[in-house]
Amino acid sequence: MAQYTPPLRDMQFVMHEVLDVASELKQLPAHAEVDVDTINAVLEEGGKFAAEVVFPLNQSGDEEGCTLDKATHEVKAPKGFKEAYMQYVEGGWPSLSCDPEFGGQGLPITVNQCFYEMLNSANQAWTMYPGLSHGAYEALHAHGTPEQKATYLPRLTSGKWTGTMCLTEPHCGTDLGLLRTKAEPQADGTYKITGQKIFISAGEHDLAENIVHLVLARLPDAPQGSKGISLFVVPKFLVDTDGRIGARNPVFCAGLEHKMGIHGNATAQIVLDGAIGTLVGEPNKGLQAMFVMMNAARLGVGMQSLGLTEVAYQNAVAYAKDRIQMRSLSGPKAADKPADPIIVHPDVRKMLLTARAYAEGGRALAIWTALQIDKEISSDDEDVKRECADLVALVTPIVKAFLTDNGWIATSHCMQVFGGHGYIKEWGMEQYVRDARINMIYEGTNTIQSLDLLGRKVLGDNGAKLKKFGKMVQEFIEDEGVNENMQEFVNPLADLGDKVTKLTTEIGMKAFQNPDEVGAAAVDYLRVCGHLVFGYFWARMAKVALAKVDSGDPFYKAKLATARFYFAKLLPETASLIRSARAGVKPLMEMDEALF
Read off the amino acid at residue 573. Answer: E
Residues 5/315, Cβ–Cβ less than 8 Å:
no
Element (H, E) at 10: helix 8-12
CA–CA separation, 362 vs 309, rounded Å? 9
Classify burial at 207, counting beta carbons within 10 Å of its beta carbon; exposed 0-12, middle 13-18, buried 19 or more: buried
Helices vs. strands in the chain: H and E counts, helices first: 18, 11
What do you get for the CA distance between the two ends of the chain, in Å? Answer: 45
Residues 140/232, Cβ–Cβ less than 8 Å:
no
Q: Which residues pair with 191 in a beta bridge?
A: 185, 277
Residues 59/427, Cβ–Cβ less than 8 Å:
no
CA–CA separation, 184 vs 204, rounded Å? 24
Of 24, 117, 430, 443, which one is the catalytic site residue? Answer: 443
User: In a 3-state reduction of DSSP, which class is residue 330?
Assistant: coil
C-alpha distances in angstroms, 416 versus 353, 424, 573?
A: 13, 11, 21
Measuring CA to CA, which residue among 364, 165, 189, 404 is closest to residue 268? Answer: 165
Active site residue 83: no
Q: 119: Cβ–Cβ under 8 A, 6 or more apart, which residues?
A: 46, 50, 54, 126, 127, 130, 131, 307
Task: Characterize 54-87 residue by residue with b for buried, 16 or more Cβ atoms within 10 angstroms of its Cβ, and e for exposed.
Answer: bbbbbbebbebbbebeeeebebbbbebbbebbee
CA–CA separation, 12 vs 8, rounded Å? 6
> DSSP characters for 396-430?
HHHHHHHHHHHHHHHHHHHHHHTGGGGGSGGGSHH
Helices (H), 460-571: 464-480, 487-513, 516-548, 554-565
The residues that are catalytic are: 443
